[in-house]
Structure 1
Amino acid sequence: MAGFLRIEQMRAGFSKSEEKIADYILENESKIPKFNVKEFADSVGTSTASIVRFAKKLGYQSFVEFRLGFLEYLKESESGTTVYEAVEKSDSMGDIIDKISSGNSKAILDTAGSLNADMVARAVDAIIKSERVFFFGVGQSALVAEDFQLKLMRIGKDSIFYKDTHSQLASSVHLKKGDLAIGISNSGSSIEVFKALEKAKSKGATIISITTLGRNPISQLADMDFHTIAEEKNYRTGAIVSRMAQLTIVDILFIGVARMSFDEVRDDIKETRSMVEGLKRV
């Protein structure tokens, strides 16, 4: 089902031909499993090669795999097993618990399933080898950036995050080769994050981005780009779900870093915990 969420999330990066295919799929869901590739192409008014390329862009190996995936998606929708829906004013607390937990769980699993293990390994290596790690993010993404920075600080990694966006932009001037800049933006188009990463890149820093799926200005700047898959609904649950997906990527990268020097990291975490434990008791 994640493949079909990608249609909306990747739309900004589609060519005109791909937009035409996407529109047809979303307007004619029930017809898709009945088509072979030629029938589908004829119905859309495009070539079979374009249909196959579109399926591969969504993460499928072939049109047949795409069609089977779509059939599974329709069965889930009809059976009601897809619980996550928009939160409505009339919902009970039980409904809200089910919808939010289902949405968060789905975003975590879909995002994890889209990650490339080789790229994760490259990013972990870049964090370990960097002299300093700078974080850039605004709004909800700033909370995720701060979470990542605090995790790295606890294991002794030189990491910097400024909550004030002007300070973030000013700090980007001081990055240099050997530094790492991590930009987090759900939309992939936050102007403050884009400008900070653009400056960091011009200074020779390595760039990692965490954004929504598809082509966007921030991911295009990155040496390693990670994408969240989170279905946005109303009542701001989209912000909740995307944040959970971002935190999943952050935790995977952090544990990857910690694993490389486990004994050292364990001692660092124990020592940092001991510094504040006594303050938690009256």
Structure 2
Amino acid sequence: MTTLSDCLKRIESHFDQMGPELQRCARWAADNPRQVGLLSMRQQAELAGATPTSMARMARALGFDDYISFRKPFQDALASPVPDFRERVHSMQATGNAGNGLDPLLETVQLDNVRSACALNTAEDLNAAADAILHSRRVAFLGVRSCFAISYHFYYAYSLIAGNGILVHGLGGAFPDQVDSLDADDLLVCITQQPYGRPTIEAVQSCRERGVKVLALTDSPLSPAAAFANQILQFRADSPSYFHSMLGSLALVEGLLARLAARGGNTVLDRLATVESRLASSNAYWSNPPSRKKK
């Protein structure tokens, strides 16, 4: 089955072999994946400044039988049903896809997810995201359900090199209050992947309406968070198991943290000196007591 990611890779690999008219169509489709899934071919052609015939020719140039076949992965990616965990486990059990037989496939997919942090994002995009974080007055980190662990890791590691981070956690029912406190000088960094948590999407939409900048780390350009974000960075969350993988999002976060530290200058070094001194004075980490020599 062809996925949205496959379609975008085909556009990238075939782009230089296309004529100017087909390149215009392909570039528009890659830049507007939600519209490809939602609008008619005629509407898309009008927005792309091309003809419906050119859109169809572009699809065939990419190896699809027609524009309907090209459009289907975009439509499929728009759907975000609650995953049927039980059905996926039942399928694994029925096909014998368990135990040692699952290990090689799982390892391959996990490695692809980790590599996706660099494969799906350019160095310029990653640097732009790091600069947006470094130049914001406050940086709020948001993720719900499984993504909360990733947002907490991002917040905690970021707090070692900067003191302006906020973890949006919602304890005591204060979730909306934390988001509402952000303004145009602040940045909301959200991590979300299918199935997309409703509180995250509502928070992103609220921030965009109030002029708060949004950086979305997500698994698809068709993610509902992408529609309201100022910038998106992508990762893959594929898994042959019943639960989606978190390795892609973690790899992306750790890559951003490395960039933040490298681009933060003396401000980062001064912050680390303060944090390390505090950790040492409070005996934050276990260390083995010195061994006593026998007399």
TM-score (norm 1): 0.66
- 2:144 is the counterpart of 1:128: no
Q: In structure 1, what is the equivalent of residue 18 of structure 2?
A: none
| 1:251-266 correspondence runs (5 A) | 251-262=254-265, 264-266=267-269
Match among 218, 227, 237 for residue 230 of structure 1: 237
| 1:81-120 correspondence runs (5 A) | 88-89=92-93, 90=96, 94-120=100-126
Match among 156, 168, 174 for residue 150 of structure 1: 156
Aligned residues: 223
Ranges in structure 2 where 5+ consecutive residues have no aligned partner: 9-32, 42-51, 64-88, 289-295
Q: CA RMSD in A?
A: 3.5
The Cα of 1:144 is off from its aligned counterpart by 0.7
Match among 244, 253, 258 for residue 250 of structure 1: 253
Q: 2:248 corresponds to which letter in structure 1? A: A
Q: In structure 1, what is the equivalent of residue 37 of structure 2?
A: 14
The Cα of 1:47 is off from its aligned counterpart by 5.1
Asked whether the equivalents of residues 12 and 214 of structure 1 are also in contact (C-alpha less than 8 Å), the reply is no
Matches of 1:137 and 1:98, distance apart in 2: 30
Matches of 2:5 and 2:119, distance apart in 1: 13
TM-score (norm 2): 0.63
Shift in CA distance, 12/202, structure 1 to aligned 2, threshold 3 Å: closer
The Cα of 1:103 is off from its aligned counterpart by 1.8
The Cα of 1:129 is off from its aligned counterpart by 0.5
Q: In structure 2, what is the equivalent of residue 25 of structure 1?
A: none
Ranges in structure 1 where 5+ consecutive residues have no aligned partner: 19-45, 56-61, 65-85
**Which is richer in helix?**
1
Shift in CA distance, 92/211, structure 1 to aligned 2, threshold 3 Å: closer
Q: 1:220 corresponds to which letter in structure 2? A: A
Question: Bigger shift: 224-233 or 173-182?
Answer: 224-233
Matches of 1:103 and 1:258, distance apart in 2: 29
Asked whether the equivalents of residues 92 and 98 of structure 2 are also in contact (C-alpha less than 8 Å), the reply is no
Q: 1:146 corresponds to which letter in structure 2? A: Y
Q: 2:37 corresponds to which letter in structure 1? A: F
Matches of 2:162 and 2:4, distance apart in 1: 38
The alignment partner of 1:184 has SS state of strand
Q: In structure 2, what is the equivalent of residue 49 of structure 1?
A: 55
The Cα of 1:152 is off from its aligned counterpart by 1.2
| Identity over aligned pairs, percent | 16
Shift in CA distance, 16/222, structure 1 to aligned 2, threshold 3 Å: closer
Q: Whose Rg is larger?
A: 2
Asked whether the equivalents of residues 188 and 219 of structure 1 are also in contact (C-alpha less than 8 Å), the reply is no
Shift in CA distance, 94/262, structure 1 to aligned 2, threshold 3 Å: farther
Shift in CA distance, 211/91, structure 1 to aligned 2, threshold 3 Å: same
The alignment partner of 1:152 has SS state of helix
Matches of 1:132 and 1:271, distance apart in 2: 19
Q: In structure 2, what is the equivalent of residue 70 of structure 1?
A: none
Q: In structure 2, what is the equivalent of residue 161 of structure 1?
A: 167
| 1:53-64 correspondence runs (5 A) | 54=59, 63=62
Asked whether the equivalents of residues 212 and 227 of structure 1 are also in contact (C-alpha less than 8 Å), the reply is yes
